Structure 1
């Protein structure tokens, strides 16, 4: 169960990284985004790390 949570969190982190990359290269710089994708990515990476720690105990 923990390994599946880790895989899901890593998938969210990758998608947030792609979304942040797209947002930083957008044409219309005045468009405001809904999410701070870097925060989403870091939270997902922290969740993945915690799942790995929990799976090993």
Structure 2
């Protein structure tokens, strides 16, 4: 179970990185009207929470 939780934590951390890069690109876009529809800030927050919870469960004895 620890290995599976660790892999979930790594995947959620990677998703957090992708969401932060996408949110940075959204904030620095050239066309102000091209907002998009993905809630990158919420995705980053949720994936960070999942990553911390999965890492805590993986490190639990």
TM-score bracket, shorter-length normalisation: over 0.9
Partner residue, 1:18:
21
* Displacement over 6 Å in runs of 4+: none
How many Å apart are 1:31 and its aligned residue?
1.1
Report the Cα distance in structure 2 between the residues aligned to 1:38 and 1:24, rounded to whole angstroms. Answer: 11
SS at match of 1:27: coil
Q: Paired residues, what number?
A: 57
Partner residue, 2:57:
54
- For structure 1, the 5+ residue unaligned runs are none
Alignment of 1:26-37 (within 5 A): 26-37=29-40
Report the Cα distance in structure 2 between the residues aligned to 1:42 and 1:48, rounded to whole angstroms. Answer: 10
How many Å apart are 1:33 and its aligned residue?
1.1
- For structure 2, the 5+ residue unaligned runs are none
Structure ID, larger Rg: 2
